[in-house]
Amino acid sequence: MTNYDTLTEAIDTKQAEGYTFDFNLSNSTLSCKTLNKTFESSEFNVDAFYRFEGDSNPDDSSILYAIQTESGVKGLLVDAYGAYSDNLNAAMIQKLKMR
């Protein structure tokens, strides 16, 4: 897996690879506002993830997920460490678990 120096660099590269949609996370679904669609945890796979540490503030830490749905929609999800962990159902936590 490629290591990127910045979140911006990773996003630019993944978008060039076809991960062009933005995903948002809720308790039990992944949504794409552009397409006005939601996806259950069983309807997508995480192709790659990249972890970024904040230089001076731990609150600046984040994870970038490159995701593809079963229907072929490819996009990105940016998540702050732990921001959603208390609000996700078990299936979503398992799907986004860093391996």
d(CA 65, CA 79): 8
Position 33 in a domain: yes
Q: Which domain holds residue 89?
A: 7-96
67, 64, 79: which is closest to 18 by C-alpha?
A: 67
Position 2 in a domain: no
Tokens of 81: 């460490």
Tokens of 25: 């996370």
Tokens of 65: 């997920």
Position 41 in a domain: yes
pLDDT for position 55: 65
Tokens of 76: 């990105």
Position 53 in a domain: yes
Please report, in tens digits, the pLDDT of each residue of the chain (99 residues total).
688 988 999 999 999 999 999 999 887 899 999 999 999 999 999 999 998 876 655 556 888 999 999 999 999 999 876 555 556 777 887 877 755
Position 1 in a domain: no
> How many domains in the chain?
1
pLDDT for position 82: 53
d(CA 79, CA 66): 11
Q: What is the pTM of this model?
A: 0.85
